[in-house]
Amino acid sequence: MKRTLLLLPLATLLSAPTEGAGLYLYETGTNDLGLASAGMAARAQDATVQLVNPAGLSHLEGRHLTLGGQLLYGDVPYDLDDPAEGDVDTVIGWFPAASAYYSQQLDERWSAGLALYGNFGLGLDFGDWAGKQLIKEATLIGLTLQPSIAYRVDEHWSLGAGVGINYGLFALTREGSGGEQKQDDSDWALNAKLGLLYEWNPGSRVGLGYASEVTYHFDIGRDITFSRPNLPGISATIPLSGMVNSPQQLMVSAFHAFAHDWAIMGNLGWQDWSRYNDNQVAVFDRTSSEKGLYQDSYHLAVGLQHDLTPQWTLNGGVAYDSSAYRDQSHTSLTVPSGSALRLGTGVIYAFNAQETLGAGFEYIHMESASVDERSLSGHYPTPALYFFAVNYGKRF
C-alpha cells in the first residue's frame, strides 16, 4: 500500500487521464500534438516515432532525445436528468503530464530506442454529488517504459519491435456509512509493439504500427449497497471494465515532403474495443449493462508541415475518431466518451542543427454521451479537452 502511494506523484506527472476513442490517446506532450497526430507512424523526424512505430527509428541518424510536457484541461460536465439532484461542473479539470524518448543508431542496420510515457487512463472527480456512495473519485493511470529496436533491411524497408512494460495504478474514493472510503491497487502488464516502414526516398514513406492489448487486474471492491430515498438498499456494481483495458490497435501513416518546404501526412487507425463486449456488470440491479456496449473505433487524420524559415516550422492537423460506443444514449458513467473531432496546431523553433523547442495546442470536441442508470441517469453534454504542450529536442 505505501509503495503505491509513493508512486502516485510520479505517475500523475507522466500520465494524463485520457478518453476519446475509449481511453487511449496519442497526446504525450510532443510535436505530434500540433499535427493532431497525423503521420505519427511515418513522420520519423525524432525519437517519438517509437510510440506507434518502432521501425521508424531506422530513419534517424545518430542519437536523438525528446522531452515533452503537457497540460490537459477537460471541460466534461455531467448533468443529471433530475434537476433536484444537481449537476457536476466538470469531472476532469486540469492535469499535467510528461514524457521522454531516446533513440540511438547502433550501426548502419540497427537502431535502438527507449521511451517513458503515459497515454492510457482516466481520472474522474465527481465531488460531493448525488451518487457519491457509488463513486466520488476514480483514477486509472498507466505508465509505460518501452525499449525498442529497429532493423533496416535495405534502403527501402525497415522492421521494428518494442515491449511495453506497463504499470497501472487505480484509486477509488466513495462515501460510505462510516465516512469517506478509499481503495487503491496496482498491477503490471506487458504488451508488444510491432512496426514496418517503407521509404520510397528520404522525403516519402509509409509506416505501419501495431500494439497488442494491455489488461490490468485490480483488486478493488466494486459491489456496494446504494441507499437513496427512492432506491432503498439497491445493489450496484461500478462499471469499471472500460477502465482496465487498452485494446489492440493498428495505425497506418503516410508522410510526403514536397516543394522543398512543405510536407503532408495522414493516418488511418483501428482500435478493437468490441473485444470487451463480454464484460457484464450490474448497476442498480440491472445485469449486463455493459454487454454489447462497445464497438471497434476508427481514426482518420491529415496534417501539414511548413518550414517558414530555416529556424521556424509550422504544424497543423485535423483528426476524427469514431465512438467506441454502439449507442451514445447508452454509455458508461465512468467512461465519458464519443466520436471526437481533433484540431491541432503548433510551432517548432530550431536554435541550431542540434536543438529544437516545440509548442503545440490541440482541441478535442467530443460527442455527447448519455448514461441510463435509474436515479443517477444523466448525460455528458459535448465534452471538450484542451491540450497545451512544450517539448525540447536534441540531436547528438
Instruction: Provide the percentage of residues in the chain whose pLDDT is more than 90.
Output: 55
Q: Where does 180-275 have alpha helices with state H?
A: none
CA angle 34, 152, 248 (to 5 degrees): 55
Residue 116 has pLDDT above 60, yes or no: yes
β-pair partners for 191: 164
pLDDT (0 to 100) of residue 308? 97
Give the Cβ contact number of residue 163 at 10 Å.
16
Instruction: Provide the percentage of residues in the chain whose pLDDT is more than 70.
Output: 83
Burial (CB count within 10 angstroms: exposed 0-12, middle 13-18, buried 19+), residue 392 = middle
Dist. CA 170–CA 311, nearest whole Å: 43
Residue 226 has pLDDT above 80, yes or no: no
Residue in the block written with cell 448497476? 283
- Mean pLDDT in residue range 332-336: 81
Pairing between β-strand 179-201 and β-strand 157-176 as defined by DSSP bridges: antiparallel
pLDDT (0 to 100) of residue 223? 55
- Mean pLDDT in residue range 199-204: 94
Which residues are CB-neighbours of 126 under 8 A, at least 6 positions away?
78, 88, 91, 132, 135, 136, 137
pLDDT (0 to 100) of residue 284? 37
Grid coordinates in use for 11? 505517475
Q: pLDDT confidence of 222, banded at 50, 70, 90?
A: low
* pLDDT averaged over every residue in the chain: 85
Dist. CA 42–CA 33, nearest whole Å: 15
Largest CA distance in the chain: 71
pLDDT (0 to 100) of residue 3? 36
Angstrom CA distances, 255 to 138, 183, 262, 305, 361, stand at: 39, 46, 11, 10, 21
Sequence ranges of the domains in the chain: 2-395
User: Distance between the two ends of the chain, CA-based, in angstroms?
Assistant: 41
Contact call for residues 375 and 283 (beta carbons, < 8 A):
no
Task: State which CATH number among 2.40.160.60, 2.80.10.50, 3.30.930.10, 3.40.50.300 fits the domain covering 2-395.
Answer: 2.40.160.60
Q: Where does the chain have alpha helices with state H?
A: 2-14
Secondary structure of residue 59 in the 3-state scheme: helix
Contact call for residues 183 and 172 (beta carbons, < 8 A):
yes
pLDDT (0 to 100) of residue 230? 52
Of 268, 264, 376, residue with least CA distance to 315? 264
Grid coordinates in use for 84? 433536484
Contact call for residues 310 and 316 (beta carbons, < 8 A):
no
pLDDT (0 to 100) of residue 9? 37
Phi and psi at residue 171, to the nearest 5°: -135, 140
Q: Tens digits of per-residue pLDDT, 117-172?
A: 988 767 888 888 888 888 888 888 889 999 999 999 999 999 999 999 999 888 88
Residue 377 has pLDDT above 80, yes or no: yes
pLDDT (0 to 100) of residue 232? 52
Grid coordinates in use for 323? 465512438
Which of 45-54, 69-78, 82-91, 284-293 ranks highest by mean pLDDT? Answer: 45-54
Q: Which residue has the higher pLDDT, 246 or 359?
A: 359
Residue 13 has pLDDT above 60, yes or no: no
Residue 186 has pLDDT above 60, yes or no: yes
- Mean pLDDT in residue range 189-195: 97
Structure-derived torsion over alpha carbons of residues 46, 47, 49, 51, reported in degrees to the nearest 10: -150
Residue 359 has pLDDT above 50, yes or no: yes
Pairing between β-strand 355-366 and β-strand 369-371 as defined by DSSP bridges: unpaired
pLDDT (0 to 100) of residue 227? 53
- Mean pLDDT in residue range 385-395: 97
Dist. CA 225–CA 234, nearest whole Å: 6
Q: What DSSP designation does 177 have?
A: T
The least confident of 19-23, 277-281, 386-390 is 19-23
